[in-house]
Amino acid sequence: MSAVDFAEFVARLATSSGQAILPFFRAMHATEDKSCGGVYDPVTEADRAGEATMRNLIKRSFPEHGVFGEEFGTENADAEYVWVLDPIDGTRAFISGIPVWGTLIGLTRKGVPVYGMMNQPFTGERFSGDGRKARYEGPGGPRDLRTRQTEDLAEATLMTTSPQLFAGAEKQAYDRVENAVRLTRYGCDCYAYCMLAAGHVDLVIESGLKPYDIVALIPIVEGAGGIVTSWSGGSAAEGGTILAAGNKALHRAALALLAG
């Protein structure tokens, strides 16, 4: 399969999932709580419709590939290539009518993220990357993505979905970084990583992520010149505590504060 064929297929996944999801955005729809009495974890008909659409396309086109999705679990997990899908990353934003959610389409080879796309069908934006380069498509036309080269924490902009992600020692570690940066913004889920790749912010710090929350975003940030790791400096592909930075110097500085 050629690179052009692959790009066209991922574009089909994005277009088809967007068509399944958009009718539910800013419309009346049922929302369920997956938390079983814990922290509110909403899921909607749109989540399920978007993932089902992508799974069906993948199965028809690449029956030998595996799929790991937030809503319907894992199939063929031992395959060389596994698609990692989050139909709506930012469901809380989605049900609130705020367009900072996105569909995450990631592909791993032997467990390593090799391609990712974030599709925002409401704004008509797509961010994609393969770890070597990253691209934007949307209003204003296509362009390459490059991270900002801020190296001083005192000049940096930090984003996290919510400070409520952190508790105990993790909260203390996160606070050390927030107290060191110039500006902090909350609440953008996957969109924060794309803004990092586009050079608008410098750091993203989160905790409690699952693989489907981060796999697609790693090749985008890295393709734009950034770095994404766990708080220990290891692979971020399994989720957990995540640090994304626009460059290695800023990453080292933030990692040192997280470590105390």
pLDDT in tens, 10-23: 999 999 999 999 99
Measured CA to CA, the distance from residue 96 to residue 25 in angstroms comes to: 9
Instruction: Write the pLDDT tens digit of every residue in 102-130.
Output: 999 999 999 999 999 999 999 999 999 99
CA distance 92 to 100: 10
Q: Is the pTM of this model over 0.75?
A: yes
Asked if residue 41 has pLDDT above 80, the reply is no
Please, which residues have CB within 8 angstroms of residue 16's CB and are 6 or more apart in sequence? 53, 54, 57
Q: Read off the pLDDT of each residue in 201-208 and give the average, rounded to a whole number.
A: 98
Residue 29 predicted with pLDDT over 70? no
Predicted pLDDT at 39? 57
